[in-house]
Amino acid sequence: MAMPRQLARGLWAKRQSRRREQRPLAECLPHINVNNLRIPRDYKTYTAPLISLRYPQISGIRLSAYFVEFHHSGRIQTFRLKWIKTGFGYPRPAFMCNCGRPVITLYFRYANLACRRCCNATYASRTLDERTRPILQAIRLRTFLQLKSGMSKRNRQRLEARLSRTTKPLELASKRIDDRTKLPQSNYSTRGAMHWR
């Protein structure tokens, strides 16, 4: 039987609207890094206190060495944990997304937690080209030098030297590159807390 005209029109409109929607930037989505949760290493299950202060979307988290349970949007989402072997010391935990990928970060989109690929998110740097990407890198380094406290003098000099080598203008015209994407994405081989995270 042929498809009703209304349905065909509806499906076409849906496809078009998806095509128009830009892929979200991972840096702009609310996210949870497994390293910021205290994953227990014993056999008990724990409740993380006051979790909504740090993650406003989440009302509760239950943690064990095997799974993490997120209470949000009126439902519960559970992720198994995979312990990844490291050369030295303890194995490190990773979330197992429903797609089967072990990931360090889960992203929030459409009242759902999932890995970056399942959220169809991309990184800000991937939306740039070879001319603009170094500008974003320099902006992130400059922000890092402003935000980072308690860095050794040697490290600061090393990073300031790297910044002074770039002669690029430190502004980007792109509308998608907002302040969140300009935050440093790494610790630049320095020690200590990353307070902006």
Question: In the complex, what is the shortest distance from the CB of residue 18 to Zn ion, in angstroms, rounded to a whole number?
Answer: 19
Looking at the DSSP bridge assignments, the partners of residue 60 are 71
Does residue 99 bind Zn ion (CB under 5 A)? yes
**78-112 in b/e burial notation, b at 16+ Cβ within 10 A?**
ebebbeeeeeeeeeebbbbbeeeebbbbbbbbeee
Q: Which of residues 115-144 bind Zn ion (CB under 5 A)?
A: 115, 118
CA nearest neighbour of 48 among 82, 29, 71: 71
Question: In the complex, what is the shortest distance from the CB of residue 79 to Zn ion, in angstroms, rounded to a whole number?
Answer: 10
Which window, 8-16, 72-80, 90-98, 173-181, contacts Zn ion (CB under 5 A)?
90-98
Which window, 9-17, 27-35, 113-121, 124-132, contacts Zn ion (CB under 5 A)?
113-121
Q: Measured on CA atoms in the order 66, 72, 76, 77, is the torsion positive or negative?
A: negative
Which window, 54-62, 64-72, 92-100, 120-128, contacts Zn ion (CB under 5 A)?
92-100
Q: Count CA atoms closer than 13 A to 59's CA, side-chain side.
A: 8
Please tell me the distance from the alpha carbon of residue 95 to that of residue 68, in angstroms, as a whole number.
Answer: 8
Q: Binder to Zn ion among 97, 141, 151, 159 (CB under 5 A)?
A: 97
Q: Which one, 63 or 96, has the nearer CB to Zn ion?
A: 96
DSSP, collapsed to helix, strand or coil, labels residue 104 as coil
Q: Which one, 104 or 118, has the nearer CB to Zn ion?
A: 118
Question: In the complex, what is the shortest distance from the CB of residue 119 to Zn ion, in angstroms, rounded to a whole number?
Answer: 8
Per CB under 5 A, residues contacting Zn ion are 97, 99, 114-115, 118
